[in-house]
Amino acid sequence: MPTAPAPTRPPALTLPDYGGACITSVVPTLIGPEVPEGAATIVPELVAHARQVVLLVLDGLGWEQLRARTTLAPTLNAADGIGRAITSVAPTTTACALTSITTGRPPCEHGLLGYRLAVGDEILNALRWSLGNGRAHDARRSVPAHRFQPCPPFPGATGAVPVVSKDEFGGTGFTAAHLGDSPLHGYKVLSSLPVEVEGLLRQGDRFIYAYYDGIDKVAHGSGLGDLYDAELRAVDRLVGDLVDRLPAGSVLVVTADHGQIDVGPRVELLGRELMSMVRFMSGEGRFRWLHARPGASAALAEAAAERYADTTWVMERDHLIDLGVFGGPLPDGHRGRLGDVALLPFAPLAFIDPADTGENRLHSRHGSLTDDELLVPLVALAGSGGV
């Protein structure tokens, strides 16, 4: 009799390098005065002697995608630029990762643990800062950002850190949650970003935070094909323009919040058996939380693992916390923001929540802990003396 094939074993789960080569260490290392233990070597020596530092965060630029396209991004891959891979956080999604960058804190501390989080029996969309399972409403009053996320941005800074970001982000709940009261110098088109940075350098600001979301938008909309490549070329020119405008003795540091994985139409809807044990879902397609009906958590985890073990890490919440996926233990107030069972695909697929119709149209995605999503660049480039 032929033997049955051995079941597929999932790959080992890679954890973020909290306190070391991780996005949580970037701002504390650049600003000081207390550099996280194990993080002293992640930023190149040229930064230590810089009179002014600009940190540019490129939403959605993963290390694996950048290294696969070296000829498209000559500035970011320049021989005299000092670059390396560092890890994002868990989940590898914008709301969580940007908050970890600006606060220098792991998700377990700042509590913005994903894109869609449970607040009681409702869902908070962290990027829109809206609340509701169906017709959502503005949550800026009912869920005050400074209470939901209490960690201040840019710890160690002397004075307010200027932020250069899109004008449309001003006044939003998520901006308040991850940037606090930092003054926003808004731009409407990409060409204005270097001009705004140059003006702040001229007035003597020592540390500037800049943000651009184009790569993430293009990847979500069309995947990692020709349009993505064109956007990466444009971003590389942006980096070159910034370097040209920086005075001698200043440094541009470039990093990202997460990478991408091309999923396309490969999506999963949970079957009737699993849904019979689920009250509702939260999270995102590649870090999907299942909120179990009372008493059904263990059975739900077992059934999900049996169904999806060949494509997905299936883990209960307490196991993920014990592993240190979020950087440490969660306060009681943060645990309730998560579901009972998490689905983290290591294959290129996503788990759809029918209640979140906007997410269903995404092409490339992120959220899980594959190298494509977890690894991001950290690049330092010296100013050319243009100011």
CA atoms within 13 A of residue 77's CA, in its CB half-sphere: 14
Same domain, yes or no: 333 and 184: no
How confident is the model over 220-271, as pLDDT tens digits? 999 999 999 999 999 999 999 999 999 999 999 999 999 999 999 999 999 9
Q: How far apart are the first and last CA of the chain?
A: 77
13 domain residue, yes or no:
no
Same domain, yes or no: 95 and 204: yes
15 domain residue, yes or no:
no
Same domain, yes or no: 79 and 44: yes
What is the structure's pLDDT at 201?
96
Same domain, yes or no: 191 and 283: no
Same domain, yes or no: 274 and 377: no
What is the structure's pLDDT at 2?
44
- With b meaning 16 or more CB within 10 Å and e meaning fewer, what string describes 61-90? bbbbbbeebeebbebbbbeebbbebbbbbb
pTM of the model: 0.94
- Comparing 31-35, 136-140, 237-241, the range with the smallest average pLDDT is 31-35
Phi, psi of 226 (to 5 degrees): -65, -40
Residue 275, domain extent: 267-365
What is the structure's pLDDT at 312?
98
> What token pair was written down for 363?
């092409």
CA distances from 355 to 125, 140, 222, 291, 373 (A): 12, 21, 23, 14, 24
What is the structure's pLDDT at 1?
43
Same domain, yes or no: 44 and 102: yes
Same domain, yes or no: 221 and 112: yes
How confident is the model over 279-313, as pLDDT tens digits? 999 999 999 999 999 999 999 999 999 999 999 99
5 domain residue, yes or no:
no
3 domain residue, yes or no:
no
Question: Which residue did the predictor score with more confidence, 135 or 12?
Answer: 12
**Does the structure show a pLDDT above 90 at 21?**
yes
**Does the structure show a pLDDT above 90 at 274?**
yes
> What token pair was written down for 163?
């932020």
150 domain residue, yes or no:
yes
Q: What total number of domains does the chain contain?
A: 2
**Does the structure show a pLDDT above 80 at 346?**
yes
- Asked if residues 343 and 337 have their Cβ atoms less than 8 Å apart, the reply is no
Same domain, yes or no: 211 and 104: yes
Over the chain, what is the mean pLDDT? 92
Look up the CATH number of the domain holding residue 328.
3.30.1360
What is the structure's pLDDT at 79?
56
Look up the CATH number of the domain holding residue 81.
3.40.720.10
- Comparing 25-39, 169-183, 205-219, 325-339, the range with the smallest average pLDDT is 25-39
- Asked if residues 72 and 225 have their Cβ atoms less than 8 Å apart, the reply is no
What is the structure's pLDDT at 44?
77
Same domain, yes or no: 107 and 156: yes
**Does the structure show a pLDDT above 60 at 7?**
no
What is the structure's pLDDT at 5?
42
How confident is the model over 56-113, as pLDDT tens digits? 999 999 999 999 999 999 999 875 566 889 999 999 999 999 999 999 999 999 999 9
DSSP codes, 38-98: T-TTSS-HHHHT-SEEEEEEETT--HHHHHTTGGG-TTTT-TTSEEEEEE--SS-SHHHHH
* Percent of the chain scoring above 90 in pLDDT: 82
14 domain residue, yes or no:
no
Find the mean pLDDT for residues 357-369.
Answer: 89
Same domain, yes or no: 243 and 308: no
Per-state percent for the chain, helix, strand, coil, to nearest 5: 30, 20, 45
